[in-house]
Amino acid sequence: MIEVENLIGGEYSTAAESFDDICPSDGSIIASIPRTMMVDDAVKAAENAQPGWGALSLEQRADWLDKIADALESQHRQLAELEALDTGKPLEVAMEVDISRSIENFRFFAEFSRNMPEEVFEMEDATNTVLRKPVGVVGLISPWNLPLYLLTWKVAPALLMGNTIIAKPSEITPLTAHRLGQILCEIGFPAGVVNIVHGYGPEIGQSLVEHPAVKAISFTGGTATGRLVARTAAPMFKKLSLELGGKNSSIILDDADLGLAVPGVVRAGFLNSGQICLCGSRILVHSSIYDEFLESFLAAVSELKIGPVISENHMAKVLSFIDLAVAEGGDIVAGGLRSEDDGFHIEATVITGLSHDSRTATEEIFGPVVTIHRFDSDAEAVEMANCTDYGLAGSVWSKNRGEELAKQIESGMVWVNTWLHRDLRVPFGGIKDSGVGREGGMWSLGFFSEAINICVKHNDLQARV
């Protein structure tokens, strides 16, 4: 039994009140999570630490990011075991996706900063330089589906730009964030620069967003929660980044290479039990190849071994969507049931026969459930793909027309003949109800800094070189 504690100013505090962390694989209690309101203390610690951390050079902070990456790397397997325990995902996925990427987040931003060009704009009679100052104390709120991966995607650029942090990990998966805090203490990372407060979102998360000394909120989570966060933070003029839900299409055109498309679309539908915001859960297939695609797709799905969904509540929500699909007239052609008595397992589920604008096909389910729909032309595929309120991601599978079609999809990113192929320099984020703002490369560094312009008029008496 692990006791998760708040990390404030480099110290851990034992909680008077706590609640249980449940393992999704078997429903057992694996940890206790503090339920103590310590946001004020965390803000004070972060305020005290900010001048010292902000005064380091970019290079010194980048060196710290590398040291953190080294420390995480030395604990790669232990961190993956904790992530697998807390989320129920297979250990290989935790090793290869979650923890590898968490390490890369620190290494990437450290290296990126070393290659950052100076921002200088020359005028005829003056020189403008852009200074990037820290925003100050920032709040980082993250979800349960990729716990350490998504938290460190915010921590690394926030630290690099000289901010001090209050991190609020998901109350459903606190273990790797807790371990990250311990690792920071073990390597002598300056106290108070990273503070971690655990607990329920509407209590701890909300009070973090409300706190006047927290100058920016970077939030990843559901669209409904994002709306609440925006409602609180926007009138306080906080910097706000919202990475929200998705309902993404995988589009298979008539000239697709099915040898590539079928495994790609299966992976996009079911990786992490379909619990990735980028998952392609609505599959649009050209009529001329529909039967051939469906047969191979179902054969591949029948071979899948997937982990549980995250919680009992979430399992009930996903199963209720399968009931809704039946009520809407859909055919369950694979799966459809809870698969084991222990834990929160649901079979990989494939639904056909629904309209592309049905609730099942347009609302975010966030589980191992996909719907498949037919189309007869590229224009119809685009219209079907764009008919949801979300606009996060998508993929197009085609030998010749993928890029052209991708440009017409209303979403923040579209992959052609691949999925979840990430270059960390590119903008990441959604349009429509999938969010506001972008993360990645310079977009993250821009969010976690205040860009200040210094304009120096040339002295006419001095010759300019």
User: What residue ranges bind ligand NAD (CB under 6 A)?
Assistant: 141-145, 150, 168, 170-171, 201-202, 205-206, 209, 220-222, 225, 228-229, 243-246, 277, 364, 366, 392, 430, 435
Q: Single out the residue of 445, 416, 441, 440 nearest to residue 430, CA to CA.
A: 440
Shortest Cβ 220–ligand NAD spacing (Å): 5
Cβ 25 vs Cβ 315: under 8 Å:
no
Q: Which residue is nearest to ligand NAD (CB)?
A: 201
Q: Which residue, 62 or 229, is less far from ligand NAD as judged by CB?
A: 229
3-class DSSP state for residue 147? helix
> How is 361-389 classified by DSSP, letter by letter?
HHS---SSEEEEEEESSHHHHHHHHT-SS
Structure tokens at 360: 């099942």
Cβ 434 vs Cβ 283: under 8 Å:
no
Tell me whether residue 243 is one of the annotated catalytic residues. yes
Q: Which residue, 162 or 367, is less far from ligand NAD as judged by CB?
A: 367
3-class DSSP state for residue 205? helix
* Count of Cβ atoms closer than 10 Å to residue 99 Cβ: 27
Q: Single out the residue of 337, 339, 261 nearest to residue 296, CA to CA.
A: 261
Shortest Cβ 171–ligand NAD spacing (Å): 5
Q: Which residue, 88 or 245, is less far from ligand NAD as judged by CB?
A: 245
* Count of Cβ atoms closer than 10 Å to residue 320 Cβ: 11
Q: Which residue, 248 or 296, is less far from ligand NAD as judged by CB?
A: 248
Q: Which residue, 330 or 435, is less far from ligand NAD as judged by CB?
A: 435
**Residue 313 CB burial class (10 angstroms; 0-12, 13-18, ≥19):** exposed
Shortest Cβ 221–ligand NAD spacing (Å): 3
Q: Single out the residue of 193, 209, 220, 254 nearest to residue 68, CA to CA.
A: 193
Q: Which residue, 154 or 374, is less far from ligand NAD as judged by CB?
A: 154
Query: Tokens 């096909």 map to which residue?
Result: 361
Shortest Cβ 97–ligand NAD spacing (Å): 13
Shortest Cβ 205–ligand NAD spacing (Å): 2
Q: Which residue, 139 or 335, is less far from ligand NAD as judged by CB?
A: 139
Give, for 51, the enclosing helix (H) or strand (E): helix 39-55
* Count of Cβ atoms closer than 10 Å to residue 218 Cβ: 26
Tell me whether strands 331-334 and 280-286 are parallel, antiparallel or unpaired: unpaired
Q: What is the largest CA-CA distance in the chain?
A: 84
Cβ 368 vs Cβ 334: under 8 Å:
no
Shortest Cβ 282–ligand NAD spacing (Å): 14
3-class DSSP state for residue 131? strand
Shortest Cβ 232–ligand NAD spacing (Å): 7
Q: Single out the residue of 123, 119, 108, 206 nearest to residue 159, CA to CA.
A: 108
Per the residue annotation, which of 23, 83, 277, 364 is the catalytic one? 277
Shortest Cβ 238–ligand NAD spacing (Å): 12
Tell me whether residue 292 is one of the annotated catalytic residues. no
Per the residue annotation, which of 5, 104, 171, 243 is the catalytic one? 243
Using alpha carbons, list the distances in angstroms from residue 387 to 278, 297, 352, 430: 17, 24, 18, 15
Residues known to be catalytic: 243, 277
